[in-house]
Amino acid sequence: MQTTTTPKDFLSVLNFDSADLDRTLRLATRLKADRALGRQAPTATALQGRHIALLFDKPSLRTRTTFEIAVRELGGDLVVLQPDVALGQREPVADVARNLERWVDAVVMRTFSQCVLEELAGAAPRLHVINALTDQEHPCQAIADFLTLQERLGTLRGRTIAYVGDGNNVATSLAHAAAMLGVHFHIASPDSYQLPHAVVQQARARARFGARLRAFAHAADAVVGADVVYTDT
């Protein structure tokens, strides 16, 4: 019998397999419903005795606020690191990681390079690292978006999302998640702003239930037959 191992970190949607992603959406649905119970929620002490650090190199409103609230509602202790912890400048990334893993259980990190995030996670085998945005990927955003779509549409499998905008970090994570959830993904981007070829290949390699990824030059073509139109700034 094949067994699965929960990944230590969540740096990319691709850290999950399809079963992980399905399970995460189910858990998120239950947690959202239980929020009304406040301190009586079944998960109100899920992080009791755990210290979670936030390290944000880039400004944030929604992501930072919601992570802070989530840690507190799950009973964890929050450590907000100041912006002067400049990774790779004040001290090497690996040193930051090795210090943090002695003090905290997890770090939620918003930074520029995906490589920095991967270096930090690789240097600290006991530290759980969560990607709260890099220039390349935004996996938490994608999962939150698919939770919303599931609430609005019901079944996700076989649906079509049209994304209108450049092939940026959000588009990358949406493409990954859509493929794994059996959702068709249309993306309309100007020349020189398309999804990276590697991302297209990754999504197609992980696709389930016949999910297709199609690239378009014009928004009007991409939105034909779409259940949802998604845009970015």
- pLDDT, tens only, 154-174: 999 999 999 999 999 999 999
Enclosing domain of residue 57 = 13-131
Nearest of 177, 166, 188 to residue 211 by alpha carbon: 177
Q: Report the C-alpha gap between 185 and 226 in whole angstroms.
A: 9
Mean pLDDT of 19-42: 96
Are 155 and 125 found together in one domain? no
What pLDDT sits at residue 128?
98
**In this structure, what CATH number is given to the domain that contains residue 172?**
3.40.50.1370
DSSP line for 110-156:
E-S-HHHHHHHHHH-TT-EEEES--SS--HHHHHHHHHHHHHHHS--
Query: What is the pTM for the complete model shown?
Result: 0.94
Q: What is the pLDDT of residues 81-96, one digit of tens each?
A: 987 776 767 889 999 9
When divided into structural domains, the chain yields a total of: 2
Mean pLDDT of 58-72: 95
Are 19 and 115 found together in one domain? yes
Q: Does some domain include residue 140?
A: no
Q: Which amino acid, residue 207?
A: A
Are 22 and 127 found together in one domain? yes
Cβ pair 129, 77 in contact under 8 A = no
Are 158 and 80 found together in one domain? no
Are 118 and 167 found together in one domain? no
Q: Is the pLDDT of residue 2 over 60?
A: no
What pLDDT sits at residue 212?
98
Q: Does some domain include residue 137?
A: no
